[in-house]
Amino acid sequence: MADDEANISYYKDIRPIFQSHCQGCHQPAKKGGEYVMTDFALLLQGGESEEAAVVTGKPAESYLVSLITPVDGKAEMPKGKKPLSVVEIDLIRKWIEQGAENDAPASTQLKFSMDNPPVYSAAPVITSLHYSPDGKYLAVSGYHEVLVHHADGSGLAARLVGMSERIETARFSPDSGKIAVTGGSPGRMGELQVWDINSKSLLFAQTIGYDTLYGANWSPDGTLISYGCPDNTTHAIQVADGKEILFNGAHNGWVLDTVFSVNGDHLVTVSRDRSMKLINVPTQRFIDNVTSITPGALKGGLNSVDRHPGKDELLCGGADGVPKVYKMFRDKARKIGDDFNLIRAYPALEGRIFSTQFSKDGTRIVSGSSFNGVGQVKIANYEDAKEISSIDLDGGIFAVAFHPDGTTVAAAGFSGEVHLIEVATGKITKSFVPVNIETTVAGAEE
């Protein structure tokens, strides 16, 4: 921490404050008061008021300082939130007094925005796929953006470029109108974004912690979004105002995926700690381990969880390569070593499962895995666990998704290609790279 004598660092002391309290509303995709704080020149310049936000050397003349300084315990900024702490306000004042210098390494400056989207020289690894429930779109994770494709693979409908360089999950709301995104910049920040599909605008963004966030999901009524963190915590927020309504720390490892119960009053989480846990939403309390917690019962962590569309049964996949369906609520008292909630196991995949999903009508399941650089996708009947089709692919598969019509699944991963696969036969009907790759030919001019 900076003391009175020391130089205050923008990168180490000031930027983290702006990141967690201001940039959600002041970034290229969402600029409250036409003010962007993610670009250093614009941070100094200010917004629609045309008052200089930061006057170098003069905190008393800096509009930003007047807006963050509380009067009768209330401050204009951060808008609608608690004022910054006295220590934070003091740091900002002193940094401006010392000349408001930018010591952030170039690599940490925001390079991309909706007006200046990323340019690709190679296909990025794909970590997330999700079809909109109305069947129109397929959301694909990109670098710094979510690529919204037409579901039939005919082309790109929108590019949603935000602050996070890495996108871990992008999931449509139940009404297909919005997308919740978790991601971040590894070792620097985590972020939750909510986008409106029709207007392609960022409705909400919040930076959280210092590492990427995982496993965003919607409550069935679309009012809540849950997500997991690498600091072992699980969270849920209200979509309307971004307020956190659930915080739980029951896991002992990264929380990688989350899903709500049918009526939205329970949340299920899976983790690297090998367990699937049940949390009560209104009380935020840990209720039960859904999977066995006997040492050795589960080999390795769990990466993915989905809920049956019509009942409280959970499909999970992880390091042991076996998709399994569990009852959410136990109907027998726990005995040490039991795995009573297990309903059935499905044909194993090669390697680790990274993604699993039910079909919209609940009659099928799909899973995708990765083993030594080879990918596999398997589709099975939900009721009798009979395999319907299977396909091996180049490059590990990190994401699978069922089209709502039940005839096609999408699968993608390390190779950066999206494959559309016919459910009945396991045959690829179409493959495409979800981004435009710029190839520069020596001597050629565009």
Using CB under 6 A as the binding rule, whether residue 32 contacts ligand HEC is answered as yes
Return the sign of the alpha-carbon dihedral for residues 266, 348, 320, 334. Answer: positive
Q: According to CB under 6 A, which one of 8, 29, 77, 418 is a site residue for ligand HEC?
A: 77
Q: What residues have CB less than 8 Å from 257, skipping those under 6 apart?
A: 169, 214, 215, 217, 228, 269, 270, 302, 303, 304, 305
Which of 9, 16, 33, 157 touches ligand HEC (CB under 6 A)? 33
Residue 318 amino acid letter = G
Compose the 399-418 pattern: x for residues touching ligand HEC by CB under 6 A, - for all others. Answer: --------------------
For ligand HEC, the closer of residues 24 and 59 by Cβ is 24
Nearer to ligand HEC, 33 or 309 (CB): 33
In degrees, rounded to 5, the angle at the alpha carbon of residue 92 between the alpha carbons of residues 88 and 95 is 135
Burial of 95 (0-12, 13-18, 19+ CB in 10 A): buried
Q: Which of 7, 11, 49, 57 binds ligand HEC (CB under 6 A)?
A: 49
Applying CB under 6 A, does 429 fall inside the site for ligand HEC?
no
Q: Exactly one of 35, 131, 254, 382 binds ligand HEC (CB under 6 A); which one?
A: 35
Interface with ligand HEC includes 79 (CB under 6 A)?
Answer: yes
Nearer Cβ to ligand HEC, position 35 or 143? 35
Contact status: 205 vs ligand HEC (CB under 6 A): no
CB 183 within 8 A of CB 164: yes
Query: What contacts 413, CB < 8 A, 6 or more positions away?
Result: 125, 126, 127, 354, 368, 370, 375, 393, 395, 396, 397, 398, 399
Contact flag: residue 236 with ligand HEC (CB under 6 A): no
Contact residue for ligand HEC among 39, 51, 90, 211 (CB under 6 A): 51
- Size of the residue set binding ligand HEC (CB under 6 A): 24
Binding to ligand HEC by residue 16, rule CB under 6 A? no
What phi and psi, each to the nearest 5 degrees, are found at residue 329? -115, 130
152 vs 4, 170, 403, 421, 429, CA distance in Å?
Answer: 60, 18, 10, 11, 10
Q: Which one, of 122, 105, 121, 128, lies nearest residue 193 by Cα?
A: 128
361 vs 364: CA distance, rounded Å: 8
Q: Segment contacting ligand HEC (CB under 6 A): 40-48, 318-326, 329-337, 416-424?
A: 40-48
In whole angstroms, give the CA distance from residue 243 to residue 60: 32
Angle ∠(72,77,79) on CA atoms, nearest 5: 105
Binding residue (CB under 6 A) for ligand HEC from 15, 26, 171, 266: 26
Residue 223 token pair: 């009012």
Which span (79-87, 149-157, 164-172, 376-384) binds ligand HEC, by CB under 6 A? 79-87
Smallest distance, ligand HEC to C-beta of residue 359, A: 39
Contact status: 237 vs ligand HEC (CB under 6 A): no
| Interface with ligand HEC, residue 71, by CB under 6 A | no
For the CB of residue 94, give the shortest distance to ligand HEC in the complex, in Å: 15
Residues that bind ligand HEC (CB under 6 A): 21-22, 24-26, 32-33, 35, 46-49, 51, 53, 63-64, 67-68, 77-81, 84
